[in-house]
């Protein structure tokens, strides 16, 4: 199996969908001639041309609205936000139009749009460029929310997202773009990962670590430390998609290990892990041998200082410390 970077896997997935369906188009700021702010779309404009890879004005409200309208007419737009922090500029269109049109039309109008881009802290770009909004958008019925942690998941999930008939908000991570991992070769077949299916990234017996996005990578590192230094064996469950949420996978790992730590870059108040904790409490209370614990971002706007922001976000050290309180 080949090794690709996270950005290469995303690009390959979008390239394959451009070839598969002539209705797929990519739009966003600097995605064409400039090859994308993060070089995710590098080479696609040269290959597919102006009608398939479209640079937009610096107006999220304008081009997101255009993409939503186009999707209602049969186009499958993949819209890049330079930062997901800019979602607020187009918030009404995202949650009032994209999320609601299928329901309010009685299922007659679909909105097969993908909105993708980085949604993370940890890059020292200040509070206005470091929002982590997957929990926010997961609260709106009609939206699907995806947060891949590995190159293979990034490719398989972007392909499934583009084919989906509902709006999918695809949360990437700038820190992961350069990470590498095995990705199946296209010659081996069409590699698509269904939305709503979690993945057990590491198998253990003593405690479950449940996370999504970059937090999965931190959990894997923490699990290595816990096994080596403390003899604690951890399941690491990668949610991969927030909506739909793989409830059965969550309950299965908790019933197996009887202890759980939830890791989530969102703030603690109303974050994704808060929903997961409620699910576990409702369905697995009698299976728990210790309280549910959470590791989240500290409750403050993203801190500009690199060293302080590194501690504000979940990291392997914080995860290990939390596990040791209940192991």
CATH number of the domain residue 319 falls in: 3.40.50.920
Peptide bond into 244 cis (omega under 30): yes
- Whether 57 and 203 share a structural domain: no
- Residue 1: the pLDDT is 81
The total of structural domains in the chain comes to 2
CATH of the domain at 23: 3.40.50.970
The reply to whether 193 falls in a domain is no
Catalytic residues: 60, 129
CA-closest candidate to residue 167, choices 140, 185, 204:
140
- Residue 241: the pLDDT is 98
The reply to whether 253 falls in a domain is yes
- Residue 144: the pLDDT is 98
- Whether 39 and 170 share a structural domain: yes
CA dist 256 → 241, 287, 312 (Å)? 22, 8, 31
- Whether 315 and 278 share a structural domain: yes
For residue 192, what are its two tokens? 């698509």
Q: How far apart are CA 31 and CA 148, in angstroms?
A: 21
- Whether 125 and 163 share a structural domain: yes
- Residue 193: the pLDDT is 98
- Whether 251 and 281 share a structural domain: yes
Contact between 47 and 15 under an 8 Å Cβ cutoff? The reply is yes
Q: How far apart are CA 2 and CA 310, in angstroms?
A: 31
The reply to whether 262 falls in a domain is yes
The reply to whether 261 falls in a domain is yes
Q: How far apart are CA 173 and CA 119, in angstroms?
A: 6
Task: State whether residue 115 is helix, strand or coil.
Answer: strand
- The DSSP H or E segment spanning 267 is strand 260-267
Beta-carbon contacts of 273 under 8 Å, excluding residues fewer than 6 positions away, are: 210, 262, 263, 264, 266, 294, 296
Which residues of the chain have a pLDDT value below 70? none
Q: Looking at 155, 188, 221, which one is the last position of a domain?
A: 188
- Whether 234 and 311 share a structural domain: yes
CA dist 113 → 30, 40, 69, 108, 173 (Å)? 19, 18, 10, 16, 20
CA-closest candidate to residue 170, choices 102, 98, 80, 101:
80
Tell me how many degrees the CA angle 252-170-262 measures, rounded to the nearest 5.
35
pLDDT tens-digit profile of 277-290? 999 999 999 999 99
CA-closest candidate to residue 5, choices 220, 216, 230, 155:
155
Beta-carbon contacts of 225 under 8 Å, excluding residues fewer than 6 positions away, are: 316, 320
Give pTM, 2 decimals. Answer: 0.96
In the chain, DSSP finds a helix count (H) and a strand count (E) of: 12, 14
pLDDT tens-digit profile of 83-92? 999 999 999 9
- Residue 109: the pLDDT is 96
- Whether 177 and 226 share a structural domain: no
The reply to whether 206 falls in a domain is yes
Tokens 């330079």 label which residue? 82
Q: Looking at 157, 188, 219, which one is the last position of a domain?
A: 188
Q: How far apart are CA 115 and CA 134, in angstroms?
A: 12
Q: Looking at 188, 207, 236, which one is the last position of a domain?
A: 188
Dihedral (C-alpha) 203, 208, 212, 217: value to the nearest 10 degrees? Answer: -60
Range of the domain at 264: 199-324
- Whether 181 and 243 share a structural domain: no
Contact between 187 and 10 under an 8 Å Cβ cutoff? The reply is no
The reply to whether 52 falls in a domain is yes
The reply to whether 194 falls in a domain is no
Half-sphere exposure of 44 (CA within 13 A, CB side): 32
The reply to whether 300 falls in a domain is yes
pLDDT tens-digit profile of 214-235? 999 999 999 999 999 999 999 9
Q: How far apart are CA 241 and CA 197, in angstroms?
A: 7
- Whether 151 and 213 share a structural domain: no
- Whether 181 and 242 share a structural domain: no
- Whether 161 and 207 share a structural domain: no
- Whether 136 and 212 share a structural domain: no
């Amino acid at each position: 199996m080949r090794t690709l970077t996270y950005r290469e896997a995303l690009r390959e997935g979008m390239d394959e969908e451009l070839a598969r369906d002539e209705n797929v188009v990519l739009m966003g700021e600097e995605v064409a001639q400039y090859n994308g702010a993060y070089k995710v779309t590098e080479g696609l404009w040269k290959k597919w041309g102006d009608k398939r890879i479209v640079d937009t004005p610096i107006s999220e409200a304008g081009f997101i609205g255009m993409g939503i309208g186009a999707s209602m007419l049969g186009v499958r737009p993949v819209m890049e936000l330079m930062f997901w922090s800019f979602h607020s500029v187009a918030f009404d269109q995202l949650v009032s139009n994209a999320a609601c049109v299928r329901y309010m039309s009685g299922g007659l109008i679909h909105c097969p749009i993908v909105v993708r881009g980085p949604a993370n802290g940890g890059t020292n770009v200040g509070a206005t460029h470091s929002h982590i909004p997957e929990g926010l958008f997961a609260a709106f019925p009609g939206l699907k929310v995806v947060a891949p942690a590995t190159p293979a998941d990034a490719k398989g999930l972007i392909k499934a997202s583009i084919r989906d008939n509902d709006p999918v908000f695809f949360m990437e991570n700038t820190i992961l773009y350069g990470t590498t991992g095995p990705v199946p070769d296209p010659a081996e077949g069409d590699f698509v990962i269904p939305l709503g299916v979690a993945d057990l990234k590491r198998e253990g017996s003593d405690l479950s670590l449940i996370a999504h996005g970059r937090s999965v990578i931190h959990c894997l590192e923490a699990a290595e430390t816990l096994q080596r230094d403390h003899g604690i064996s951890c399941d690491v469950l990668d949610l991969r998609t927030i909506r739909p949420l793989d409830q059965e996978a969550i309950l299965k790992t908790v019933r197996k290990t009887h202890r759980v730590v939830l890791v989530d870059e969102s703030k603690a108040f109303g974050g994704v892990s808060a929903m997961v904790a409620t699910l576990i409490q409702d369905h697995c209370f009698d299976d728990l041998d210790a309280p549910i614990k959470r590791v989240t971002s500290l409750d403050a706007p993203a801190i500009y200082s690199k060293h302080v922001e590194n501690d504000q976000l979940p990291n392997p050290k914080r995860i290990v410390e939390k596990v040791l309180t209940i192991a």
